[in-house]
Chains A and B, each alone.
Chain A
């Protein structure tokens, strides 16, 4: 395999396989070598090398027969939150360390049906309940750009695997930013589709009304391809007479942002003016309640999911996750109801906003990848818990279910910066279209 091909985009790998420039087993072996050499990054919980070799051989036979399945022979990884038939699925926990599901999760089944070769199950924050992937049971995941820093999470292993060429694309889940945050901190593309667009059957839940599944890839076109496979539908852009209209989010929620992140994002958006994109500033005061609404909703629902184990398997949880679950078990129903009312206001405001703009733009995270173990970020205005800072700008789109993508737009102080683009419900097309423009303008070399 040429050095270019295992670092190539998923779409380029599909083309190379069809044109016989590489075989599925060759591509797989290149990925397995990268998994082996990158073990210290703790991207994987389980590597399914032998199964993958059998799948790759079968895929090659189908390719030889001219089979055009969209992902045929392409190595992909799956966050270990999704059930995989015959392959251990831990959810990053000790509680499920020996669970071997009988059936694939719906999203995994779609990947297999499309011909993907499953290389393994990726590391995550325990039960996806946190955004650092510092997993006490399966290892602390490390950022390929600087191993002393977090890759983000909860789908941290999937992002590491994609960025380092351990696979061409990966499946992640996102309840407060868990696809977009690691994508931003490691320099790849993460798409959280519209709520419900990708089926969640067989995915260990974190919070039913906030959970989403979606792809993590190196390039935007790959995210589009994986989305189509996972959602079972294409992602066309909305028809419009004029160019795309972007609203750059201003206001309280985006006040505390690292100056390097802010200037990188603003520069990327300014560059889009050359592509006939209309750029304006927007404000959404209703976002002021989004952090509180998300916290109450997430804590309550996650504790409902875990209510039995919280009492019977308490000592099997890591410290941070146990604390969150215990707190969630104490939240009164009244607060949950208020949170849903705030959510409703935000939904209405966002719907009105999407009458004026096609896409809302903001940084994916207000900070660059923090050091592992760092707990607090200090702003001029005060301090903010790291986990809170990392989810602050992504969570509004979990509360509302609107599609949002993180696309790398710059390198600042040696670390990637993610630009977040959110669109109207069902309009993944506009989000992907704009992300493609950002990617083309940024033209970064992001392989690690």
Chain B
């Protein structure tokens, strides 16, 4: 799934009712968020065995 489609699905599930223009405006910030949060997941997601 493309990032834009994923964002649209998430926004819809959250009941935000975003317009297409709002989705496009949110996309760069959402991409930055995904890149940043990846560092958290990589550093901390050690799985049950490593907890």
Contacts and interface: CB of A to CB of B under 8 A. Distances in A.
A341 B45 CA distance: 10
Given A292-B40, A311-B17, A327 B33 contact: yes
A66 B10 CA distance: 64
B18 A326 contact: yes
Interface residues of B, number: 22
| Interface size class, chain A | 20 to 34
Contacts of B15: 311
A335 B40 contact: yes
A330 interface: yes
A335 B39 contact: no
A327 B37 CA distance: 13
A46 B26 CA distance: 33
A323 B18 CA distance: 11
Interface string B7-40: 1001100111110001001100110010011011
A310 B33 contact: no
B45 A330 contact: no
A204 to B, nearest CB: 22
B48 interface: no
A338 interface: yes
B39 A289 contact: yes
A326 B33 contact: no
A329 to B, nearest CB: 5
A341 B36 CA distance: 15
B26 A338 contact: no
A405 to B, nearest CB: 28
A207 interface: no
Contacts of A341: 44
B1 interface: no
Interface in A313-336: 319, 323-324, 326-327, 329-331, 335
Given A311-B17, A330-B30, A323 B25 contact: yes
A342 B40 contact: yes
A330 B29 CA distance: 12
A188 interface: no
30 contacts: A288-B39, A289-B44, A291-B36, A292-B37, A292-B39, A295-B33, A295-B36, A295-B37, A296-B40, A299-B33, A311-B16, A311-B17, A323-B29, A324-B29, A326-B16, A327-B26, A327-B29, A327-B30, A327-B33, A330-B11, A330-B14, A330-B16, A331-B33, A335-B40, A335-B41, A338-B40, A338-B44, A341-B44, A342-B40, A342-B44
